[in-house]
Amino acid sequence: GQQVMQIPQYQHVQEGEDFTTYCNSSTTLSNIQWYKQRPGGHPVFLIQLVKSGEVKKQKRLTFQFGEAKKNSSLHITATQTTDVGTYFCAGGIQGAQKLVFGQGTRLTINP
Amino acid sequence: DGGITQSPKYLFRKEGQNVTLSCEQNLNHDAMYWYRQDPGQGLRLIYYSQIVNDFQKGDIAEGYSVSREKKESFPLTVTSAQKNPTAFYLCASSPRTLWGEKLFFGSGTQLSVL
């Protein structure tokens, strides 16, 4: 079936270090969304990318959508303790009317 | 406050028992969804509804049932046929069922088996 693979599953960094999580799909995606879930909380929408090669920034967060629309990444520059949580990507499967979530990357930070 | 309200926050189910999770939204969204979250896994779609009195199975609908009698409400019943119900259940909504729209999530219900 259609899958969106997300790596790494866990990442532990020192505060101030950078962090990146990657999503890869075996099929072309119509769009990709990113969500953040704080510990004990619920997913909150961060951003959506639609165009091939698209790059969007939100303060210290940079989101990219691959040229082939099969992969995406989220990069956080100079992590802060408020960045702790699990980051999920969710890909819209072209032609399938479906949104498939990656397994998530859990980010922990040593202050 | 506008948003999605899920209740209860914690729920315990006995063997052979059906339990119902509540989800109410006041965002005037047409589409509502139920997702299941297990540790180390992504969110998996159980059911979704695009309009009142209509709903569609998601990827893991077996052992679950839903209803959509009102636009604001989309309750999920976990039946005794669901043999592994322990999970975190998330309700979500979006203005329409276009998979390019962002999802608004409720705070979730943790279901455990006694």
At A31 the three-state DSSP class reads strand
Model pLDDT for residues B36-92, shown as the tens digit of each residue: 999 878 899 999 999 999 999 999 999 999 999 999 999 999 999 898 999 999 999
Distance CA A84, CA A66 (A): 25
DSSP A32-91: EEEEEE-TTS-EEEEEEE-STT-EEEETTEEEEE-TTSSEEEEEESS--GGG-EEEEEEE
Give the per-residue pLDDT at A1. Answer: 61
A103·B41 Cβ contact <8 A: yes
Q: Which whole number is the average pLDDT over A51-57?
A: 97
Residue B5 has pLDDT above 90, yes or no: yes
Cβ atoms of A90 and A99 within 8 Å: the answer is: yes
A45·B99 Cβ contact <8 A: no
From the list B100, B1, B67, the residue with the least C-alpha distance to A30 is B100
pLDDT category, B96, cuts 50, 70, 90?
confident
Distance CA A75, CA B33 (A): 29
Give the per-residue pLDDT at A15. Answer: 97
Q: Which residues of A touch B10 (CB under 8 A)?
A: none
Q: Which of B42, B44, B108 sits opposite A104 (nearest CB)?
A: B42
Residue A97 has pLDDT above 80, yes or no: no
**Which of the two residues, B101 and A82, has the higher pLDDT score?**
A82
Distance CA B103, CA B95 (A): 9
Residue B1 has pLDDT above 60, yes or no: no
Tell me what the pLDDT averaged over chain A comes to: 94
